[in-house]
Structure 1
Amino acid sequence: MADQAHTIEVPTDAELLQAQADLWRHSLYYLTSMGLRCAIKLGIPTAIHRHGGAASVPSLMSKLSLPASKQPFLRRLMRVLVTNGVFAADHGDGGAEVERYRLTPLSRILVDGAVADEHHSQTSFVLAATSRHYLEAALGLDEWFRKDVAPPPPSPFEDVHGAALFDESTPLLDPELDAVVNEGLAAHDNLGIGTILRECRDLFAGLRSLTDCCGGDGTTARAIVKAFPHVKCTVLDLPKVVDKAPKDDVGVTYVAGDLFHTVPPAQAVMLKLVLHHWSDDDCVKILTQCRKAIPSREEGGKVIIIEILVGPSLGPVMFEAQLMMDMLMLVNTRGRQRDERDWRDLFMRAGFSHYKVVKMLGARGVLEVYP
Structure 2
Amino acid sequence: MLTIKVITGSNLDSYSAMAAEAPVVLAPTDDELLQAQADLWRHGLCYLTSMGLQCAVKLGIATAIHRAGGASSLPDLITTLSLPASKLPFLRRLMRLLVYSGIFAADDAAAMTGTYRLTPLSCLLVDDGVVGSHPSQVPLVHSMTSRLCLEAAMGLAEWFKKDHLPSLSAAALPSPFEEVHGVSPFDGSMANLDPEADIMFNEALAAHDNSGFSTVLVLHHWSDEDCVKILAQCKKAIPTREAGGKVIIIDIVIGSAPGHVLEAELLMDVGMMLVTKGRQRDENDWRDLFKKAGFSDYKIVKKLGARGVFEVYR
**Bin of the TM-score, shorter chain as denominator length:** 0.7 to 0.9
Partner Cα distance (2:119, 2:132) in 1 = 18
Supply the AA of the counterpart residue of 1:338. R
Matching residue of 2:222: 278
Structure 1 gap segments, 5+ residues each: 194-219, 222-269
How far apart, CA to CA, are the structure 2 residues paired with 1:356 and 1:44?
42
1:166 to 159, 180, 186: 186
- 2:187, 2:147 → 1: CA distance? 18
Alignment partner, residue 352 of structure 1: 295
1:320-367 Cα shifts (integer Å, max 9, x gaps): 111011011111111111111111111111111111111111110000
> Is 1:120 matched with 2:140?
no
Please say if 1:42 is aligned against 2:34.
no
Q: Does 1:134 align with 2:154?
A: no
Give runs of ≥4 in structure 1 deviating > 2 Å: 7-10, 95-98, 114-117, 295-299
In the alignment, the residues of structure 1 paired with residue 108 and residue 131 of structure 2 have an alpha-carbon distance, to the nearest angstrom, of: 29
Structure with the larger RCO, 1 or 2 (CA within 8 Å, 6+ apart)? 2
| Structure 1 residues 299-310: aligned runs within 5 Å | 299-310=243-254
Q: Secondary structure at 1:19's aligned position in 2?
A: helix
Deviations 1:209-234 (A, max 9, x none): xxxxxxxxxxx15xxxxxxxxxxxxx
* 1:15 equivalenced with 2:35 (yes/no): no
Aligned-pair identity (%): 65
Q: Which residue of 2 aligns with 1:53?
A: 70
Please give the per-residue CA displacement for 1:14-36, whole angstroms capped at 9, x wherever unaligned.
00000000000000010000000
Q: Which moved more, 1:282-291 or 1:116-125?
A: 116-125
Label 1:142 to 1:298 Cα distance change in 2 as closer, same or farther (>3 A).
same
Distance across 1 between alignment mates of 2:34 and 2:183: 44
RMSD: 2.0
Could you tell me the TM-score, scaled by structure 1's length? 0.74
**Residues matched between the structures, number:** 289
Q: Identify the residue that residue 80 of structure 1 maps to in structure 2.
A: 97
Write the letter of the residue equivalent to 2:254. Answer: V
- Spell out, residue by residue over 1:239-286, the C-alpha distance to the aligned partner (whole angstroms, 9 max, x if none): xxxxxxxxxxxxxxxxxxxxxxxxxxxxxxx51xx2111111111111
CA distance in 2 between counterparts of 1:163 and 1:134 reads: 12
What is the distance in 1 between the residues matched to 2:79 and 2:212? 34
The alpha carbon displacement at 1:105 in A equals: 0.6
Contact 2:123-2:131 at 8 Å conserved across structures: no
Taking the TM superposition and a 5 Å limit, the aligned residue runs for 1:95-244 are 96=111, 98-149=113-164, 150-151=168-169, 152-193=172-213, 220-221=214-215
1:161-195 superposed Cα distances (whole Å, 9 cap, x missing partner) = 110121110111211211121111111122233xx
Contact 2:143 2:200 in 1 (8 A): yes
Aligned residue among 50, 62, 65 for 2:79 = 62
Question: Any idea what SS the aligned residue of 1:145 has?
Answer: helix
Shift of the alpha carbon at 1:119?
3.1
Partner Cα separation in structure 2 for residue 325 and residue 97 of structure 1 = 31
Q: Distance in 2 between matches of 1:307 and 1:115?
A: 22
**Residue number in structure 2 paired with 1:319:** 262
Q: Contact conserved, 2:104 with 2:116, CA < 8 A, in 1?
A: yes
Residue in structure 1 matched with residue 282 of structure 2 by the alignment: 339
> Aligned equivalents of 2:283 and 2:38: distance in 1?
35
